[in-house]
Amino acid sequence: MKITLKIWRQTSPATKGQFKTYTLGHVSPDMSFLEMLDVLNQDLIKKGEEPVTFDHDCREGICGVCSLYINGRPHGPLQTTTCQLHMRTFSDGETITIEPWRATAFPIIKDLMVDRSAFDRIQQAGGFISVNTGGVPDANEIPISKKIADEAMDAAQCIGCGACVAACKNASAMLFVSAKVSQFALLPQGKPERKERVEKMVAQMDAEGFGACTNTRACEAECPKGIKITNIARMNREYFSAMVSSYEVAAGDGGAG
Amino acid sequence: MKLDSKVPEGPIGEKWTRHKFNLKLVNPANKRKYDIIIVGTGLAGASAAASLGELGYNVKAFTYHDSPRRAHSIAAQGGINAAKNYQNDGDSVYRLFYDTIKGGDYRAREGNVHRLAEVSVNIIDQCVAQGVPFAREYGGLLANRSFGGAQVSRTFYARGQTGQQLLLGAYGALNRQIANGKVKMYTRSEMLDVIVVDGKARGIITRDLVTGKVEAHSAHAVLLCTGGYSNVFYLSTSAKACNASAAWRAHKKGAFFGNPCFTQIHPTCIPVSGDHQSKLTLMSESLRNDGRVWVPKTAVKGLKAKEAANIKEEDRDYFLERKYPSFGNLVPRDVASRNAKTVCDEGRGVGPTGLAVFMDFSDAIKRDGRKMIEQKYGNLFDMYQQITGDNPYEVPMMIFPAVHYTMGGLWVDYNLMTTVPGLYALGEANFSDHGANRLGASALMQGLADGYFVIPYTIGDYLATIGWNDKIATDHPAFTEGIENVKAGVDRLLSIKGNKTVDEFHRQLGLIMWEYCGMSRSETGLTKAKKMIQDLRSEFWTNVSVLGSANELNQELEKAGRVADFLELGELMIDDALNRNESCGGHFREESATEEGEAKRNDDAFAYVAAWEYTRESQPENLHKEELRFENVKLTQRSYK
Amino acid sequence: MKWIVDMFTSTLGRKLLMALTGLFLILFLAVHLAGNLQLLKDDGGRAFNIYAEFMSTNALIQVVSKGNFFFILLHTFMAIALTTKNRKARGPEGYAVLSGKSSHWTSRNMGILGTLVLAFIVIHLYHFWAQMHGYWGNITTLDYDGKPVRDLYSLVDMWFQKEWYVGLYVFCMAAIAFHLWHGFASAFQTLGLNHLKYNGVINVVGKVFAVLVPAGFAFIPLKMYFS
């Protein structure tokens, strides 16, 4: 296959970026998208040009570090991660535009690599259950109905890639935040800190500069792990009921509660 | 130097309990006066950082990822073992211990393995309390499955994403300590050296991968939780960034390397599709519970999965079921892998390269219905289809072995301390618990056991000995010198300006390792490979091309440093494989086989841990032997017939 | 009481206000349509005029009416606040290529649709509400059984004979329809009322409402123009 690539190149956060066009002559349909970029980079190095910087690691769709906004969609045309996207999805002679995730909360580091540490800070605000190592009850002490466990698992599958933010016209992180809120709101282990958790995570989400949800459902359509917007509704419920019923908590109280 | 494993005396079931009592404690008020550096934030690192932070120590945690949640522990699919015996099927701590020792082909320490089995039950409790959504039965209790050839159902799982869920649990615990200010997290920071002063580990040198800044960090103890070195083979199931640099540089500073040749080849991976291949994808071992492995009885060149139906039932060779009637498709990983290689060597392999065997689900679908299979393996089947374009509900999967895990690693004693006092190794980075072969669903168990339930006890013993005011600041000459050395190393890579890319060297190294130090090894092959690696290494240092500069984000530079270390580690693996003239576990020496071609151990000569001591650049390393004593388990040849 | 400020300055709190005001305005539309349908009665506008007189004089209705204005403004204000935040969240450098495949265009263009609707409301208020309340023009007063009743019907009829006005009216009703097409179910999602058992009903009712109510509004001027 012959492929033309329009790739966003930007040397540092401060400098202005621009698109550069490259052509690749021999692309195998069995290559993954990232392998195609590997080939491009090898070519570039051989020519003495700087290779394209992009985040990637596990290449099996689970670490969540690969990103790329491909032809107007995060992770490209399929509902999967970029590393699991294969060139057979594209046609011979196609021009592919590759951009970084665009969001104020995800500043560009270099070329196609962005800084997603905002997600970590949201998790640090309360995306956990405050138990120390040791001294916990037996794992079977609290039965959890299979349905609830499954639903919690559906939410917990989030890989933190940020495709939801990239896909959303408002760069909203609600699908990401709500997935974690939901997982712990559903499980009995998460109940003690349920209210404080959602309050703190939402406050941090806002502080990071993510946008508001306008229910376009683009996040759900693009999420490589199929996280549903029912989680956002659940987060809204949790948040409103927490806000009207919880004790007031000052930010930075330590732990989720 | 005499290796002291420090395994306590006494009956196997009481060793750990006694040891815990005998370990010195650090006064709670003094814990905050101790600084601990943790490198790597996968299962072992994150769980250790969280647990030590909870205890009150000051922890600095480092990862080269953008977030601790990216560590490759996340990719473990199948599950985690624990001797809970929830299924009432005869499991016990002793059985898990026994299975692990036997599965490791009697090359692991009894004491360590029994401790692992003991704490396995605590891990499950801990993870459930953290909100890990393990699979459950309709009654609300935890579900288990039998995994990787175990005769009992002791594996806990969260769909096909157990590693992810366990890592996110540990990541949550870590986040809590970060929020509490007990752990300071450094992301996109790569450790490039360990600082050893007066024989004790005192800190590390790191490079900020975004700015290129080289920094020194000092502490009372350093924990390496940096995973394994499968990527020495270039193609493996490891993530692209997985590397041995932290462990290797610690090795060069005095930490012995244990059993480097013990690598695990996983039997069920998606075969290589072409030269562009950048990594191999594992299909969970759980698939072997329902998938039947076969090749045609007589070679059919380039047989595609779509044409498998043309091969009549009587013309198929279900070679694992035929050779191992009692275990069938569930034989341990090394046996399954080697047999796949054998049939492919006979020319009976399938697919365009002939380097693949079929794994067929048609009987299982007929028996249980498509829905049931979908429930069990849905995400794996989808993944397979995405990668290969074949639909495994309709045609058999094609699989081939791939390097998956390294049992070898930094030598540690019972306290997880390396031969450098104050330097610890946890998880896959150490060599300790799996012997010559790791059982399925045991890696997650070991990583978390080390981090949650071993190091919090054992580290206190060392810290209490040295005292909190015995700390060296980063303005000590050892640190400034360390910074200069790291900078010089970086500049050296950039100054070569050769013609070959880092990846080209890495690929070449991988091919050598796979060919001569892969599924089967021989003296002639290994000797040849040793020379090839030496040549490749000298070519690397004269002809590698690394563009860009040191003071910026430079992914090629990162890779170059890692490949340079692989080029040295590869040779040590070869040396170790040459030295171990017996077949055991994942290490198959052609010279040491039974008449039927099965692996033959030599317990009289090789029942030891090979611990290698670095001497000088390009000089042979010194071999130290830690004799293994088996007081509880009788050594037998493994048989899965 | 810091929590109240926190809540309504958070994105979720603002969305909550959008949803609640939106649902109120939806209710208002239904009531308004019920009144408007009296224009179709073949009684020379008598029923409609009595209804209009009641609506503009009843004390309770006046309170509700003030609330209605307030909600329209609040809805608008929150929309502006959220849109500003959202623009900022995307950052100055947008995407070069956008694929519309993952969402419906109405959901992406609520701001534009809403602006159209707001413009229509202003025009609409100017032509009818302002004259009815005597801010300008001179609306005639009729005598219904000894009671003075302002003749809004004739005013409406006059405007509904103008082609451009009917066209504008119908166009704006289409904008409302599209606004509701997304807005109705969206409000429930924002309130957290998303449940597999009820989603179907909410969606169907929402879509039917989004079509029928604006169609009902649009039908009236068309009927009056063509008959």
What pLDDT was estimated at residue C156?
95
Query: For residue range B262-279, what is the model confidence (pLDDT) as tens digits?
Result: 999 999 999 998 899 999
Report how many Cβ contacts below 8 Å link chain A to chain C: 145
Average pLDDT, rounded, for chain A: 95
Indicate if the pLDDT at residue B508 is higher than 60. yes
| DSSP annotation of B515 | H
Q: Which residue of A has its CA nearest to B182?
A: A254
Q: Which CATH class is domain A116-245?
A: mainly alpha
Decide if A233 and C193 are in contact by the 8 Å CB cutoff. Answer: yes
B382 located within any domain: yes
Query: For residue range B410-451, what is the model confidence (pLDDT) as tens digits?
Result: 999 999 999 999 999 999 999 989 999 999 899 999 999 999
Q: Which residue of C has its CA nearest to A214?
A: C107
- B vs C contact (3+ beta-carbon pairs below 8 A): no
What positions of B carry a catalytic annotation? Answer: 333
Decide if A125 and B179 are in contact by the 8 Å CB cutoff. Answer: yes
Decide if A129 and B129 are in contact by the 8 Å CB cutoff. Answer: yes
Indicate if the pLDDT at residue A83 is higher than 50. yes
Mean pLDDT of the region B479-501: 98
Q: How far apart are CA A161 and CA B149, in angstroms?
A: 35
- C vs A contact (3+ beta-carbon pairs below 8 A): yes
What pLDDT was estimated at residue B148?
72
Is the minimum CB–CB distance between A85 and chain C shorter than 8 Å?
no
Is the minimum CB–CB distance between A189 and chain C shorter than 8 Å?
no
CA-based nearest distance B360→chain A, Å: 22
Contacts with B, A 186-225, CB within 8 Å: 187, 189-190
CA B178 to centroid of chain Cα atoms: 27
Query: CB–CB of C16/C74 below 8 Å?
Result: no
Which residues of chain C, if any, have pLDDT below 50?
none
Average pLDDT, rounded, for chain B: 96
Indicate if the pLDDT at residue A256 is higher than 60. no
Strand ranges, E, within A10-94: 18-24, 69-70, 73-74
Strands B35-39 and B58-62 come out as parallel
Of the candidates B403, B434, B460, which is a domain's last residue?
A: B403
B547 located within any domain: yes
Strands B263-269 and B214-218 come out as unpaired
Question: Tokens in use for B572?
Answer: 């040590």
**Residue B47 CB: number of other CB atoms within 10 A?**
35
Of the candidates B541, B211, B543, the one whose C-alpha atom is nearest the C-alpha of residue A45 is B543
Decide if B142 and A140 are in contact by the 8 Å CB cutoff. Answer: yes
Q: Which residue of B has its CA nearest to A53?
A: B555
Candidate from B111-120, B383-392, B513-522 with smallest mean pLDDT: B383-392
Domain with B512, as residue range(s), is: 498-604
Q: Which residue of A has its CA nearest to C102?
A: A218
Q: Domain boundaries in chain A?
A: 3-110, 116-245
Q: How far apart are CA B53 and CA B46, in angstroms?
A: 10
What pLDDT was estimated at residue A251?
52
Is the minimum CB–CB distance between A229 and chain C shorter than 8 Å?
yes
CA-based nearest distance A104→chain C, Å: 5
Is the minimum CB–CB distance between A120 and chain C shorter than 8 Å?
no
What pLDDT was estimated at residue B86?
97
What pLDDT was estimated at residue C1?
75
CATH of domain A3-110: 3.10.20.30
- Write the CATH number for B596: 1.20.58.100
CA B265 to centroid of chain Cα atoms: 11
B395 located within any domain: yes
pLDDT band at A225 (very low <50, low <70, confident <90, very high): very high
Question: Tokens in use for C7?
Answer: 């809540």
What pLDDT was estimated at residue B596?
85
Query: Hey, which chains touch A, using 3+ CB pairs under 8 Å?
Result: B, C
What pLDDT was estimated at residue A257?
40
Whether ipTM > 0.90 holds is yes
Question: Tokens in use for B373?
Answer: 């299979």
CA-based nearest distance A171→chain C, Å: 5
Mean pLDDT of the region B485-491: 98
Same fold across A3-110 and A116-245: no
- Write the CATH number for B304: 3.90.700.10
Is the minimum CB–CB distance between C49 and chain A shorter than 8 Å?
no
Indicate if the pLDDT at residue A246 is higher than 90. no
Decide if C103 and A19 are in contact by the 8 Å CB cutoff. Answer: no
Q: How far apart are CA B443 and CA B210, in angstroms?
A: 31
Instruction: Provide the residue type at B171 as one letter.
Output: Y
Decide if C102 and A217 are in contact by the 8 Å CB cutoff. Answer: yes
Which residues, at least 6 apart from B627, have a Cβ–Cβ distance to it below 8 Å? B607, B608
Decide if A86 and B387 are in contact by the 8 Å CB cutoff. Answer: yes
Decide if A103 and C90 are in contact by the 8 Å CB cutoff. Answer: yes
Please identify which residue in the block is written with the tokens 């300008």.
Answer: C136
Out of A69, A212, A215, the one facing C107 most closely (by C-beta) is: A215
Contacts with C, A 16-35, CB within 8 Å: 17, 19
What pLDDT was estimated at residue C76?
97
What pLDDT was estimated at residue B331?
86
Decide if A50 and B179 are in contact by the 8 Å CB cutoff. Answer: no
Per-residue b or e along A34-62, where b marks 16 or more CB atoms closer than 10 Å to that residue's CB: bbbbbbbbbbbbeeeebbbbbbbbbbbbb
Indicate if the pLDDT at residue B248 is higher than 60. yes
Q: What is the domain count for chain B?
A: 2
| Correct CATH for C2-90+103-226 of 1.20.1300.10, 3.40.50.300, 3.40.50.2300, 3.90.1300.10 | 1.20.1300.10
